[in-house]
C-alpha cells in the first residue's frame, strides 16, 4: 500500500492528484481507469478541503491499494463527520441552468467508481473508493 498525506488547502490539490495517478500507474492500473479514479478523488478531496475543514489547518491522507482486479483508494480526514454516500442524487434534468448544482461531486464519484464505503472511526472520516479493472482495459 502506498500513501500520501497532504494539507487540506485547495492549492495542494493538483499535487495530490498527480501523486495519486502516479501511484496508480505504478500499481499497473490502466490509463482509462486512472483517469476515472482521478476524477472521483478530485471530487472527494475538493469537498473535504472546501466544506469539511472549517479552517485551513488539517490533513488528508490518501492511500492506494490493488487486490487483483480491484483497486481501492482510501481517503481519511479529521473534519466533522460527513457521509457522502448519504447525499441524494442530484436532479440532472429539467430547466438545467436554473436547477440547484449541489450533489454534482458525489454524482461523479458514484459514476466513476464501483464501490463506495464510508465509516467514521476514532474521529476520522474514512471514505473508500473502489474500482474494478475491466479485462477489456488490458492487464
Which residues are near another protein by CB under 8 A? 10-11, 13-14, 17, 35, 38-39, 42-43, 45-46, 49-50, 92-93, 96-97, 101, 104-105, 107-108, 111
Q: How many whole angstroms separate alpha carbon 89 and alpha carbon 37?
A: 19
Closest approach of another protein to the CB of residue 67, in Å = 27
CA pair distance 121, 78, nearest whole angstrom = 10
Backbone Cα Rg of the chain: 15
Tell me how far, at minimum, the Cβ of 30 lies from another protein, in Å: 16
The nearer residue to another protein, 61 or 65, going by C-beta atoms, is 61
CB of 62 to another protein, least distance (A): 14
Which residue, 42 or 77, has its beta carbon nearer to another protein? 42
In contact, 36 and 137? CB cutoff 8 Å: no
Q: Which is nearer to another protein, 38 or 65 (CB)?
A: 38
**Closer by beta carbon to another protein, 105 or else 130:** 105
Backbone dihedral region for residue 49 (phi beyond 0: left; psi -120 to 50: alpha; all else: beta): alpha
Query: Which of 43, 28, 48 is closest to 129 using CA atoms?
Result: 43
Amino acid at each position: 500500500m502506498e500513501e500520501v498525506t497532504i494539507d487540506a488547502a485547495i492549492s495542494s490539490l493538483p499535487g495530490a492528484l498527480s501523486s495519486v495517478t502516479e501511484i496508480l500507474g505504478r500499481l499497473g492500473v490502466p490509463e482509462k481507469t486512472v483517469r476515472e479514479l482521478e476524477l472521483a478523488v478530485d471530487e472527494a478531496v475538493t469537498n473535504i478541503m472546501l466544506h469539511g475543514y472549517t479552517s485551513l489547518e488539517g490533513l488528508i491522507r490518501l492511500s492506494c491499494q490493488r487486490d487483483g482486479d480491484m483497486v481501492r483508494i482510501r481517503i481519511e480526514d479529521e473534519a466533522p463527520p460527513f457521509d457522502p454516500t448519504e447525499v441524494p442524487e442530484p436532479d440532472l434534468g429539467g430547466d438545467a441552468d436554473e436547477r440547484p448544482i449541489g450533489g454534482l461531486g458525489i454524482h461523479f464519484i458514484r459514476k466513476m467508481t464501483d464501490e463506495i464505503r464510508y465509516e467514521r472511526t476514532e474521529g476520522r472520516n474514512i471514505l473508500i473508493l473502489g474500482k474494478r479493472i475491466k479485462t477489456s482495459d488490458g492487464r
